[in-house]
Each structure stands twice: as C-alpha cells, then as structure tokens.
C-alpha cells in the first residue's frame, strides 16, 4: 500500500500563477484533509472533507479551494498564488472524521514544498 | 479558543539518555490526545493515542501520559537513539470540534 501520495513534491510559482496540488489515498478512508506547515509553526488546517461529496473550511481557507473528486482523491487549488502561500502542504486521511478512537488517526502524505516568488 | 502548547520548543540530548516532552491544552470538551513524530522532510506519523479514561500509553521506548484534570500530557523517551531526532507534535481533538488542534512541536536532537 502506498498510503497517502502527493504530487508534486516541489513547486516554484510566480505571484499570480495558479496550480493544483494532488492527493490520493489507497486506505479506503472516508475523511481527508489539507494542512500547511510554516517554519517553526504547527500544522494549520486549510480545508477538510468528512466524506465523499462534502468539504468544509478549516482554520486558514482564504486563497484556496478544494475538490473531493472521489473517495480516493482530494485536490487543493491556489487560484492566484501569493508569497504568503509559500509553505509545505500536507495532505492527510483518516477512516472517519472524529470518533474518539484509532479510527480517526490521521495518516499524512510526504508533503509538497511550494515557493511563491 | 482551543490551544495546545508544547515545551520545550527544542531539546538536545546525548544518545542513550532519557527525555520528557510536555503538552498543555485548553481544548474542551476533550476527546483524545495524540503524539506524532515528524522526521525532517516527512509527514507526521502517529505514535500514541489516549482518550479521557487512559492515563498511560506505551509504544516501544515512547511512553505518553495524560492528566485530563490538569489538561496536561507528556511524552517520555527512554534510552534515546539517533533516529529519535525529529519534531514531536501533540494533537488534541475536541469532542464537538470535528477537527484537531496541533501544537507547534518540540524539536528533539539526539547527539552521539
């Protein structure tokens, strides 16, 4: 099993350009998440999808959009990239959104390192 | 606002020594608390999970404790190894939130 995969691994954009970060999981999980991690800071939730067909805003959604394409795939789009969006982006998945037990343990992908010039 | 605070921010120890990392939280009502290990350049990996009724959980050389009354948790690493060098992240889930609150992490460096 590959677990959670993310593409691309690295990306450099110019201000104003758009791009989509791809994420896929092969664990048949219902819930998926997008986080950003800035140096010296904790992970901050951008958007999440409790189940196929639903998406909700997290802590820092401005400047991003998401699509839960199917149960496996959850993409993050930057419509007009800004230097403040330079960060490492992590996708994660869990069996359920919140159950108080091991089922909601999140499994993370390897991250996408994005630089916006 | 739900918060998770970790201390120390960074820690350097010699190989073979023990260490303890701290996590204080204000998330309420509480559902569960997890410790994750994040190696440099990688995504976090779950080490332990504890619910309200559990006060100790071990995973090999890692032992997590939880005091739900004082809203504190600790992660104790025994007989440290060079491979323990990583960031350790405390994550607390609230029963009503549907989302988790992440601490900023403690960066542990184990030196030979």
Residues of chain A above pLDDT 90, percent? 78
Q: Which tokens is B2 given?
A: 């739900």
pLDDT of residue A1: 63
pLDDT digits (tens, 9 = 90+) for B25-77: 998 888 889 999 999 989 999 999 888 888 999 999 999 999 989 999 999 99
A-chain residues within 8 Å CB-CB of B41?
Answer: 110-111
How close B5 gets to chain A, by Cα (Å)? 10
pLDDT of residue A114: 96
Question: What's the pLDDT band for A98 if we cut at 50, 70, 90?
Answer: low
Q: B100, B101, B104: best mutation site toward chain A, by most A Cβ within 10 Å?
A: B100
* Cα A46 to Cα A42: distance, rounded to the nearest angstrom: 13
- B32 and A110 in contact by Cβ < 8 A? no
B-chain residues within 8 Å CB-CB of A48?
Answer: 99
In A1-117, the DSSP E strands lie at 4-7, 10-13, 19-25, 31-37, 43-49, 56-57, 64-68, 74-78, 87-94, 107-108, 112-116
pLDDT at A67 over 70: yes
Helix (H) or strand (E) holding A82: none
* Cα A49 to Cα A20: distance, rounded to the nearest angstrom: 17
Q: A2, A29, A39, A43: best mutation site toward chain B, by most B Cβ within 10 Å?
A: A43
pLDDT of residue A101: 64
């Amino acid at each position: 099993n590959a677990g959670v995969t993310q593409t691309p691994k690295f990306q450099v954009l110019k201000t104003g350009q758009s791009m989509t970060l791809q994420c896929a999981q092969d664990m048949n999980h219902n819930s998926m998440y997008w986080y950003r991690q800035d140096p010296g800071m904790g992970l901050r939730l951008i958007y999440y999808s409790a189940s196929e067909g639903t998406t909700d805003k997290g802590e820092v959604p401005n400047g991003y959009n998401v699509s839960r394409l199917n149960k496996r795939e959850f993409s993050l789009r930057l419509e007009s990239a800004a230097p403040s969006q330079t960060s490492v982006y992590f996708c994660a998945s869990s069996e359920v959104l919140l159950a108080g037990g091991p089922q909601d343990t999140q499994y993370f992908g390897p991250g996408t390192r994005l630089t916006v010039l | 606002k739900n918060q998770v605070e970790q201390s120390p921010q960074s820690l350097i120890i010699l190989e073979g020594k023990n260490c303890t990392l701290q996590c204080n939280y204000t998330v309420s009502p509480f559902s569960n608390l997890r410790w994750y290990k994040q190696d440099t350049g990688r995504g976090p990996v779950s080490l332990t999970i504890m619910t309200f009724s559990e006060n100790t959980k071990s995973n090999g050389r890692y032992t997590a404790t939880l005091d739900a009354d004082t809203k504190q948790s600790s992660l104790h690493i025994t007989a440290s190894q060079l491979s323990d060098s990583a960031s350790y992240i405390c994550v607390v889930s609230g029963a009503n939130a549907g989302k988790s609150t992440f601490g900023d992490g403690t960066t542990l460096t184990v030196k030979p």
